[in-house]
Structure 1
Amino acid sequence: MSAPEAVHADNAETDDLADRWKPVRDLPPSAKLVAKVLDYNETLTQSELAEETLLPPRTVRYALSRLEDADVVDSRFSFADARKRLYSLSI
């Protein structure tokens, strides 16, 4: 691959990454932080997200609701504890 082709491939990869995060771009900072933590961890509960982000549980709940409204987070019930939901990034 020539140098111009390599640069073009890098730019295309960067554009794909930017497009991936486009639905999150206009959300509050707390939602962006929760999304980024979910990007690094496959699946977390709300309490685990609060621990990882150092955000209050109420703020995490708000962030998750905004992320769910934007269709960038999936949630399902935990098989280990049906009272808890597991969240994962869907973008």
Structure 2
Amino acid sequence: MSTSPAETADQDRLSESEYRDRLRELPPSAKLVAKVLEGDSPLSQGGLADESLLPDRTVRYALNRLEEEGLVDSRYSFKDARKQVYYLTI
């Protein structure tokens, strides 16, 4: 018995409480980036820097931490395949 890609994606998604527990342990910059993504997702790294008013380097660090925790994932942009966009996994 195999699972469809949609079922696999649903299984990979975090519950709201898991998301909050993992986010609680992260630095303030990662929390701010996650909050921006809650309201306006998906966004590129540059878009996140513009929306959060954080430096690019800080956004990059925050995204790395969020990805390590499994809270954020990325894909290539449909509008510009040279850019990656980031979205929450909840």
Q: TM-score range by the shorter chain?
A: 0.7 to 0.9
Which stretch of structure 1 is more off in the superposition, 44-53 or 73-82? 73-82
SS at match of 2:60: helix
Partner of 2:32 in structure 1? 33
- 1:1-91 equivalences under 5 Å are 17-91=16-90
In structure 2, stretches of 5+ residues that fail to align are: 1-14
Q: Secondary structure at the match of 2:38?
A: helix
CA deviations 1:19-52 (Å, max 9, x no partner) are: 4311111111000000010011121110000000
Gapped regions of structure 1 (runs ≥ 5): 1-15
Offset, 1:18: 4.6
How well do the aligned residues superpose, as a CA RMSD in angstroms? 1.4
State the TM-score, normalized to the length of structure 1.
Answer: 0.77
1:44 alignment partner AA = L
Quote how far apart the aligned CAs of 1:17 are: 4.8
Corresponding residue pairs, total: 76
